[in-house]
Amino acid sequence: MSQYKKLHFIVIDDSKLDCFIAEKIIRNTGKSESITCFQQAKDALDYISTAHPDEHSHTIILVDIQMPVMNGFEFVEAFEQLPLHLTSNYTLYIISSSINDTDLSKVHNYPSVKQFLNKPINSNSLAMLLQ
């Protein structure tokens, strides 16, 4: 990730507390240009589909699995349907507080998902994905 001049983050989680925790930890890394939080996955999808990607920036998306309206897996499926010129500057991570074997195995079915991370995000897990 260090090859990018600007590193942006999108946190998608219906829990305000988990969004707050993730934002604080991300900010403390000193590597974020911006952090945008969404409590509805559909809102994040709309944002991404209308964004104008900067070729010198990269965005890390942390998306929770368990959310109302559109869950994390539904978000990933919709994200993967977007044109490549919109999605190529993003790296997706699934986050969840439950370690469900079905969810863990399902994560591997999505080419856009880099890894599964336990919630709440902590500085160690964030440091590993920023390497």
DSSP secondary structure of 10-43: EEE-S-HHHHHHHHHHHHHHT--SEEEEESSHHH
Cβ partners under 8 Å of residue 77, min gap 6 = 110
DSSP secondary structure of 46-104: HHHHH----TTEEEEEEEES--SSS-HHHHHHHHTTS-HHHHTTEEEEEEESS--HHHH
The tokens of 72 are what? Answer: 């994390």
Q: What is the mean pLDDT of each run of 10 residues along the chain (131 residues)?
A: 71 94 91 93 94 81 93 95 90 86 79 87 83 74
Q: Which pLDDT belongs to residue 112? A: 92
Q: Which pLDDT belongs to residue 72? A: 93
What global pTM score does this model have? 0.90
Give the CB-side neighbour count of residue 11, counting CA atoms within 13 A.
26
Q: Which pLDDT belongs to residue 37? A: 97
Residues in the chain: 131
SS3 2: coil
Q: Which pLDDT belongs to residue 5? A: 59
Q: Which pLDDT belongs to residue 4? A: 54
- Which amino acid is it at 119? K
